[in-house]
A and B are shown apart, each in its own frame.
Chain A
Amino acid sequence: MEIKKTPFYEAHQGLEAKMVEFAGYLMPLWYESVKEEAIAVRKAAGLFDISHMGKILIRGRNSLKLIQKLITNDASRLKPGKICYALLCNEKGTVIDDILVYGLGKERYLLVSNAANAEKVLNWLKKWAKKEIGLFSPPEIILKDCPFLALQGPKSEEILRKVGLSETFLNLRYYQCKAGRIFGETAIISRTGYTGEDGFEILIWEPKTPQVVWKKLLKAGRDLGLKPAGLAARDVLRLEAGLPLYGQELSEEITALEAGLEKFVFFGKEFIGKEALLEQKNRGLEKKLIGFEILSGRIARPKYLILKEGREIGQVASGNISHNLNKSIGTGFVKTDFSAPGTLIEIDIRGQKHPAKVSKLPFVKPR
């Protein structure tokens, strides 16, 4: 498979970014330092290239019907300009992907999926469009390839004001979106993100010279502390904010409830996976997602064992050093009995037991 480059590739190279292949794209892992990027996003702002994310347009008759059947959240509330977070589950209630659904208009929606899952989600949608709606008037399902940027951090709004973006965008509330123009590019701008900070995501819908948006934002934000930020900073920021990452906190082995996402499951409608999830809800959870801190400062890696008095009680999902909290933090799945914040546990790091403590998620409160 050929590795794809985003339109910002040359800009990343110009900044001497360390590039890695991720989900078929060559992406910046960091520019100068993960630490400085992660701190900049909480104190000022960071600009991320997120063009690798999956973008799927669903439009035409029965779009809402299809989406409502497949997502755990309530799509009927998605008026144009509204966005919701939701899961796509299979019949077992385990997670195919976590997504954002944008209401763009009547029978017109945009799904933003994880990069690595875009094809899987596309096929899942098409399969159910055929099965559920049949050959008569299925909605159109189109995989879009377009540039996507995330401007995240407390200075985001000020930066966009500085570049002259109109108040209608600056007044967007959390999880709202609006189509318009930025530096001559047609874009959908939303107040969303994956860092737990205030911020905007800019989807350049019909790109002409999208590089201009990257360059001008960086230039305008420099004095305010804006830094370009890579995937490594994005990962630690999302972990600090307690946001799940597919492949770690979410997978086809983990149900929406075990991942602690019941808030995004609306049982007042029919959807794929509902029966299994309802049954699990009534029966009670055997394992649960927890957050933890490791006191020694070592990093827990995925699949490391979590122990209580030497006995295995679960496995690590994610681990990292939080540069903002100056702590070693992580998440994992443990037997429900050991999931209360404050519980003392141990993490087996390559044969050595490191004392840890269950902590409340998120580690950093979202703004």
Chain B
Amino acid sequence: MRNKDCEKYPKNLKYTKTHEWLKIEERKITLGISYFAQEQLGDIVYVELPKIGMEVKEQKMFMEIESSKAVSKIYSPCKGKIVAINKKLGENPGLINSDPYGEGWLVEIEIMSLVLPDTLLDSICYENFLKEEIKDD
């Protein structure tokens, strides 16, 4: 069941233009997809999780999630290494829909670049970006 009442774009998170959210703590990022992304996809039915230890590169695709409607590529915001994956998604990919910022997290990435890219958006900028996106459609 979709949670339509949850906070759509929590203020403590950063967002990308490819609709990932990031929770940044020291040298570690927890990453998932935004409320908007899961709503566009509909019920997620498959998550192709990467292997722990896999190295990821800035703005390079490193995993896929899939709904009946579409396949969606997930991009890494920075150079890094996968240090944790949300194994629950294998059995229950719907967690991404029901709790995109909590139980529906995808991976944890250890940051290997010096600084994070300056293209990351805060929640207000991300919401403005979404409004522009929808207008362009």
**A residues adjacent to B (C-beta < 8 A):** 16, 18, 29-30, 32-36, 232, 235-236, 297-299, 301, 320-321, 323, 350
Contact = CB atoms under 8 A, between A and B. Distances in A.
A13 to B, nearest CB: 14
A29 B39 CA distance: 12
B69 interface: yes
Interface stretch (B9-17, B41-49, B112-120): B41-49
Contacts of A235: 68
Mostly, the A contact residues are mixed
7 contacts: A18-B42, A29-B69, A232-B42, A232-B69, A235-B68, A320-B68, A323-B43
Contacts, number: 41
Interface in B99-113: none
Contacts of A33: 1-2, 42-43, 97
B42 A298 contact: no
Nearest to B2: A32
B7 to A, nearest CB: 17
Contacts of B45: 297, 299, 321
Contact of A34 (B4, B39, B43): B43
B66 interface: yes
Given A16-B4, A232-B68, A320-B68, A29 B46 contact: no
A298 B46 contact: yes
Contact of B39 (A18, A35, A236): A18
Contacts of B1: 32-33, 36
A55 B33 CA distance: 42
Size band of the interface chain B makes with A: 10 to 19
A35 B94 contact: yes
B66 A34 contact: no
Contact of B42 (A16, A30, A301): A30
A235 B42 CA distance: 14
A6 to B, nearest CB: 21
Contacts of A32: 1-2
A173 B43 CA distance: 35
A33 B42 CA distance: 7
B68 A34 contact: yes
Contacts of B97: 33
Interface in B1-49: 1-2, 4, 39, 42-43, 45-46
B46 A299 contact: yes
Nearest to B40: A18
Given A29-B42, A35-B43, A298-B66, 6 more contacts: A30-B43, A33-B2, A35-B94, A236-B68, A299-B71, A301-B71
A151 B94 CA distance: 27
Given A18-B39, A34-B42, A321 B68 contact: yes
5 closest A-B pairs by beta carbon, nearest first, are A321-B45, A35-B43, A34-B43, A32-B2, A320-B68
Nearest to A319: B68
A299 B66 contact: yes
Contacts of B4: 16
A297 B66 CA distance: 10
A30 B2 CA distance: 11
A232 to B, nearest CB: 6
A126 to B, nearest CB: 36
A195 B46 CA distance: 24
A240 B128 CA distance: 41
